[in-house]
Amino acid sequence: MTPLVSIIVTTFNRKDFLKETLDSILKQTFTDFELLVIDNCSGYDFMGFIESYQDSRIRAWQNPNNGVISVNRNFGIRKASGKFIAFCDDDDTWFPEKLERQVSALQDEDLVAVGCAMKFTGDLTYFRQWQYPQDLALDFEDILRLNVNIPLSSLLVKNKTILFDESDTVRYVEDFDYKLNLAFSTGKKIKFIKDPLICYRIHPFNENTNVQTQANSLNVLEKYAEGIPGNLYRVVKSNLYFNLGITSIRIRKAKEAGKYMKDAFSSGLPEQKMKAVTGLLLAYLPFNLSYSLMKAYFKIRK
């Protein structure tokens, strides 16, 4: 019997986290699913670990992806037999009612996917636990315009023909590109459920990787530039440059931070220009002072 939902979990060398992930999925109140686990050839007995579950809903493969996680997500999509596809990273967990609520919501013909808010765990110094007053239905422009974080581990999707971009130009931001592509290609919306239905784990922050992540977000923006209204394009581009500048300040690269803040100024509308000027001042303050000011800002913002 064909399951309604195919759940794709990609993993690499995180056996303990993976166990928490799989356990949370297997405890779902909605049970009509298959669980596809794709391992990037971990250094432990992965297949033996999976077999220990003795659960016929779990199917597992080992497939080398050369560090490009999109390769194994696409591998899972091609193996999926369900009408809907869900994703979960190997360090995140789901609340028991997650799938049940999302499957119900995805019956709406105007939707291509359903996501939800998340509960953070770990070092939250630079992460805000957002609270939303209501559910949202986001089209392509909304995803760009609004500061709504829809984690891939929360996403339940109708369309199985849309794959992740495997190119280096979107590496680390393939999730962002995938969500934009879902809305852009189908002309449909992604529903965002305001209640947290997943737990998202924050790891020790890798600043250099984060700079590359944000830089590649600019590549994603350029992919869709022709379909984005001019002012929205300027706002998003300026905000991305500003974020690059802030991260560069945090890793003590004042010269790079100054360049990014100047780019944010030249790209943005008046509001973004004012923010960029503030960022430019931060870039050239003594590091301890600028870092303290930023930490205070993030603490107040929470």
Domains by residue range for the chain, with CATH: 5-202 (3.90.550.10), 207-301 (no CATH)
Q: Which residue has the tokens 């709406």?
A: 108
Q: Return the percentage of the chain with pLDDT > 90, whole number.
A: 74
What would the mean pLDDT of 280-284 be, rounded to a whole number? 86
- In this structure, the number of other CB atoms found within 10 A of the CB of residue 2 comes to 9
Contact 201, 124 (CB under 8 A): no
Q: State mean pLDDT over 271-290.
A: 87
Summary mean pLDDT of the chain: 91
Neighbouring-strand partners of residue 198: 94, 118
Checking if the pLDDT of 291 tops 60, the result is yes
Task: Quote the percentage of the chain above a pLDDT of 70.
Answer: 91
The arithmetic mean of pLDDT across residues 138-144, rounded, is 96
pLDDT at position 204 is: 63
- Distance CA(235)–CA(243), nearest Å, equals 12
pTM for the whole structure: 0.90
What is the mean predicted confidence (pLDDT) over 227-241? 96
In the three-class reduction of DSSP (H, G, I as helix; E, B as strand; rest coil), residue 143 is classed as helix
pLDDT in tens, 173-220: 999 999 999 999 999 999 999 999 999 988 765 555 578 777 899 999
Contact at 8 Å (CB) between 266 and 258?
Answer: no
Mean pLDDT to the nearest integer, 242-268: 91
The per-residue pLDDT for 123 is: 66
Tokens for 164, please give them: 């992740």
Q: State which amino acid sits at residue 144.
A: L
As a whole number, mean pLDDT of residues 9-13 equals 97
Integer Cα distance of 124 and 219 in angstroms: 27
Q: How many alpha carbons lie under 13 Å from residue 154 in its C-beta half-sphere?
A: 25
Token pair in block for residue 288? 């301890």
Residue 30: pLDDT band (50, 70, 90) is very high
Most confident of 184-198, 236-250, 281-295: 184-198
User: Lowest-confidence range among 49-53, 249-253, 271-275?
Assistant: 249-253
- The reported pLDDT for the residue numbered 226 is 94
Q: Is 19 left (phi over 0), alpha (psi -120 to 50) or beta?
A: alpha
The predicted pLDDT at position 212 comes to 76
Instruction: With H, G, I as helix, E, B as strand and everything else as coil, classify residue 147.
Output: coil
Q: Is the dihedral of CA 289, 292, 294, 296 positive or negative?
A: negative
- 155, 115 contact by CB (below 8 A): yes
Closest CA to 137 of 178, 108, 177: 108
Better-scored residue on pLDDT, 147 or 179: 179
Please tell me the total number of residues recorded for the chain in this structure: 302
Q: Which residues contact 194 (CB under 8 A, 6 or more apart)?
A: 116, 117, 131, 132, 133, 134, 135, 136
CA nearest to 160, candidates 76, 223, 103, 99: 76
